[in-house]
Amino acid sequence: MDFTLNEEQKAIRDLARDFAQNEIAPIAAKIDETGEFPYETVKKMGALGLMGIEVPQEYGGAGLDTLSYVLAIEEIAKVCASHAVIMSVNNSLYCYGLTHFATEEQKKAFLEPCASGKKIGAFSLTEPQSGSDAGNMKARAALSVQGDKYVINGRKSWITSGPVADFIVLFVATQPELKHRGTACFIVDTTLPGFERGKKEPKLGIRASATCETTYDNYQVPSFHRIGKEGDGFKIAMSVLDAGRIGIAAQALGIAEAAYEASVAYAKEREAFGSKIGEFQAIQWMIADMSVRIEASRLLIYNAALKKSNHEKFTREAAMAKLYASETAEWVTSKAIQVHGGAGYSKELPVERYFRDARITTIYEGTSEIQRTVIARAALDAK
């Protein structure tokens, strides 16, 4: 496996790094505290091509590969995990599905505005009673008698970017008796009547990314908004999540790297018992284990990215990358607080933010338990 970066990959990594340092770093702590959505910097990310990295240029994207996408998310997440998830949801959960399953006309109407960053896209699968058991959805779409539109009713929860989204990729049942085989995928235009945004979730971390419930009350959408065939919904959702999991793994990697780098710097500077704390084996071993886990995460993520770019099946590799990188982020950020001692527990330093931000990465886009299920099923060829 050759992970030597080409010129395009280096360029997008450097662009994301500079943008994160210059534009996001100055506001990261403040938006974590206030929970305000960073409209301005998200707009600028769109103008730089960071909101549709893998989308072909003819549909408003940057036309780059998956490793480029990973490198960009990693750099943004190192500075602010909220910006990274806003970016990941738009790139993977919204744009990926449209790039692969929409018709030419649908791409022009729904993909181009979000890939170019002019509009914001979100993804809507989870319901109050169904998170991990994603096929158990109650929201319904019924085809009108004339066959020209669908009427949608139901509730969806935990919609990342829901409070600000212009368009949402929505999964609902059309024939509930067929379970997951009776589901379909639609593009929701959030300006149409019948769509309501509910309560904004007060969250532990990624506080500047906005999350809410949404309701559909006789929401009418033209049939043109259906992506794929009736019955394809669940499979589209699963394949979109495969791609999304690489993005979340990259987000977790960026958070872990930030916590690691802060720990190394602190260990070189902080003194105790007349020595720098980095001279003590207790600290050295934490630093060593952090760096091994981060490196292993990186290799798993880059491997999944290459498989995806090479059009090989990558479900298992994406699950492995997401599982390992998210659990690494959780572990590394906790150890980073340990290295910092009391200072790490204070909001004066960003390590406590890294710790809170890391926590969601083992939950959204499939919990660690779901990733293990996917990996084990692939190994055992079982259900």
Q: How far is the CB of 199 from ligand CAA (least distance, A)?
A: 16
Told to check if 141 binds ligand CAA by CB under 6 A, we report no
Q: How far is the CB of 107 from ligand CAA (least distance, A)?
A: 21
Alpha-carbon distance 3 to 293, whole Å? 18
The correct pick among 48, 125, 243, 339 for binding ligand CAA (CB under 6 A) is 125
The correct pick among 134, 139, 304, 323 for binding ligand CAA (CB under 6 A) is 134
Q: Which stretch binds ligand CAA (CB under 6 A): 48-56, 60-68, 192-200, 366-374?
A: 366-374
User: In sequence order, what are the beta bridge partners of 171?
Assistant: 185
Query: What mask, x for binding ligand CAA by CB under 6 A, covers residues 346 to 365?
Result: ------------------xx
The correct pick among 180, 200, 203, 270 for binding ligand CAA (CB under 6 A) is 180
Size of site (CB under 6 A) for ligand CAA? 26
Query: What mask, x for binding ligand CAA by CB under 6 A, covers residues 231 to 270?
Result: ---xx--xx-xx----------------------------
Give the residue with the Cβ less far from ligand CAA, 123 or 302: 123
Q: Where are the alpha helices (DSSP H) in the chain?
A: 7-19, 25-34, 39-47, 66-79, 81-88, 97-101, 104-106, 112-115, 233-269, 281-309, 315-340, 342-345, 351-359, 368-380
* 3-state class (DSSP) for residue 43: helix
Instruction: Give the pair of three-digit tokens for residue 34.
Output: 């206030």
Give CA 220 to chain center in angstroms: 28
Q: How far is the CB of 374 from ligand CAA (least distance, A)?
A: 5
The correct pick among 20, 24, 28, 89 for binding ligand CAA (CB under 6 A) is 89
Q: Which of residues 305-344 bind ligand CAA (CB under 6 A)?
A: 315
The correct pick among 103, 132, 275, 284 for binding ligand CAA (CB under 6 A) is 132
Q: How far is the CB of 92 from ligand CAA (least distance, A)?
A: 9
Alpha-carbon distance 305 to 292, whole Å? 20
The correct pick among 43, 155, 181, 276 for binding ligand CAA (CB under 6 A) is 181
Cα distance between the two ends of the chain:
30
Distances (CA, A) of 265 to 206, 256, 337, 340, 350: 24, 14, 13, 10, 13
Distances (CA, A) of 199 to 165, 214, 267: 15, 8, 42
Q: How far is the CB of 69 from ligand CAA (least distance, A)?
A: 15
Instruction: Give the pair of three-digit tokens for residue 5.
Output: 């970066």
Contacts for 320 with CB less than 8 Å, ≥ 6 apart: 300, 304, 371, 375
Catalytic entry in 7, 105, 365, 369 = 365
For tokens 């990310």, what's the residue? 45
Told to check if 372 binds ligand CAA by CB under 6 A, we report no
* 3-state class (DSSP) for residue 141: strand
Q: How far is the CB of 234 from ligand CAA (least distance, A)?
A: 5
Q: How far is the CB of 22 from ligand CAA (least distance, A)?
A: 26
Give the residue with the Cβ less far from ligand CAA, 15 or 238: 238
Amino acid at 364: Y
Alpha-carbon distance 327 to 310, whole Å? 27
Q: Is 365 annotated as catalytic?
A: yes
The correct pick among 35, 135, 194, 222 for binding ligand CAA (CB under 6 A) is 135
Q: Do residues 277 and 340 make contact, with C-beta atoms less than 8 angstroms apart?
A: no
Catalog residues that contact ligand CAA under the rule CB under 6 A: 89, 93, 123, 125-126, 132, 134-135, 158, 160, 180-181, 234-235, 238-239, 241-242, 315, 364-366, 370, 373-374, 383
Active site residues: 365
